[in-house]
Structure 1
């Protein structure tokens, strides 16, 4: 059964659609943990494995994110290391309120963890002063966008409530990139700034001359002249994979290319 339109999803708060309850994503080794508090440095506290209820499709799609993050850790961890995925921090999934959460068709991620010192905290690292942590957060955003059409985060936060987590929902499918959507524009803007060195790039989700210049810069760095991320979902995912690899490995744009 397809998920409803945005106008339907936000029209009422009655819950619906079949769901599953699980304490893991993709593999029973990769547990989910509920963020219960923040420590003195602003990092989330996730004390133990927690079960969450969500639509079965969301469990499947979120599991694909975790599998990709595991593969990134295996192949593109910084300094040539090999990271094995550990667990996922989650703030919520199915909640009986207007929006996609009431269908269990949304998930709020708070942390992706490969091991001690090998993580991205989604309350802190998106605007961290340290470039390698912002890049890692960007890698997580790119992987989320591969499987969810709507991804809200610290730089794509229309109501001011997403500064401390990544919200992903299936109200929009994982289609080709589209410059009319802030979700997609912020990925390009962020990559242009933190991977390609486009100083002064505004990450505001609005497509304009500066964003177009950033896209052209990335296309040249990625050697992706013939790879249009707006042409098809497949080509969009190729760009997202390139961005994720650079971000995870803490490498400047051009280290990996569309033909590699």
Structure 2
């Protein structure tokens, strides 16, 4: 279903603009809305529709295709685990920010066949390491397609502990040391794989730079002169390698360029 365009919705700040209504992403992956809680885990209802700006729906669909490939090719069991559905807590809302235009998505769960990642439970210190790594894998693939990724460890206003917020407000795709969406991914990966003790989101100091250079070496990026700070295509190579490593429960360096 496609609704009409409203003139100058961006300039006026009205809760209006180009939008489409979808109950799925990618070709046929259903959307399911989080309705309740079972302890720390979100409970989701059946398939439902949300209103998107077309660009946000396209980017989420690209993310879903990457998540599907991750499950089919890199599950630790060696079996194919296709993406079955994606959980959300909303897209277009009449409030300040990119949700006003349907250009933001609040992700609550990713479910593959027999495997899932809950965005409230699996980033926390008490979670199993395999769950934390799966969460990191999801964040990395989200960052491939969205400029801003807010989550439990990148939560500037204290509202993202139970979901991952995605939007396109930052269009530069290369890795940026000062951009928290990028900085926190490097910190989380370094802490998990290198035994670093970096404060997630605590700045890009000498310790972060050392850990970052070590990760580039182990992923094979340094040997090929592929510096993620110099281009979005190079950064996405790094993100996809980290996602495969984390999802599979592999060692850093098992997946290389």
**1:200: how far off?**
1.6
Q: Which residue is equivalent to 2:197?
A: 200
8 Å contact from structure 2 (residues 194, 211) kept in 1: no
Q: Structure 1 stretches (4+) deviating beyond 4 angstroms?
A: none
Q: How many residues align?
A: 246
Q: Which residue is equivalent to 2:210?
A: 213
Q: Which residue is equivalent to 1:19?
A: 19
User: Is residue 2:255 matched to residue 1:245?
Assistant: no
CA distance in 2, matches of 1:235, 1:24: 30
8 Å contact from structure 1 (residues 152, 162) kept in 2: yes
**1:205: how far off?**
4.8
Q: Which residue is equivalent to 1:39?
A: 38
Q: Which residue is equivalent to 1:165?
A: 163
Q: Which residue is equivalent to 1:4?
A: none
CA gap 1:252/1:191 in 2 versus in 1, 3 angstroms: same
**1:197: how far off?**
2.6
Higher RCO (C-alpha 8 Å, min separation 6):
1
CA distance in 2, matches of 1:198, 1:16: 47
User: Is residue 2:148 matched to residue 1:150?
Assistant: yes
**1:204: how far off?**
1.9
User: How do 1:105-184 residues align onto structure 2 when only pairs under 5 Å count?
Assistant: 105-116=103-114, 118-127=115-124, 128-173=126-171, 175-184=173-182
CA gap 1:246/1:169 in 2 versus in 1, 3 angstroms: same
**1:17: how far off?**
2.2
**SS of alignment partner, residue 178 of structure 2:** coil
**1:153: how far off?**
0.4
CA distance in 1, matches of 2:13, 2:87: 25
CA distance in 1, matches of 2:13, 2:155: 22
Post-superposition Cα deviations, 1:101-159, rounded to whole Å, max 9, x if no partner, equal 0010100000000123x000000001243111111000000000000010000111000
**1:199: how far off?**
3.3
* TM-score after normalising by structure 1: 0.91
* TM-score after normalising by structure 2: 0.92
User: How do 1:87-102 residues align onto structure 2 when only pairs under 5 Å count?
Assistant: 87-102=85-100
CA distance in 2, matches of 1:83, 1:173: 32
**1:84: how far off?**
0.9
What is the Cα-based RMSD across aligned positions, in Å? 1.7
CA distance in 1, matches of 2:80, 2:221: 28
- Structure 1 gaps of 5+ residues are 1-7
**1:71: how far off?**
0.2
CA distance in 1, matches of 2:165, 2:214: 28
Post-superposition Cα deviations, 1:184-237, rounded to whole Å, max 9, x if no partner, equal 01111111111x232322212521112111101201211221110111111010
- Structure 2 gaps of 5+ residues are 1-8
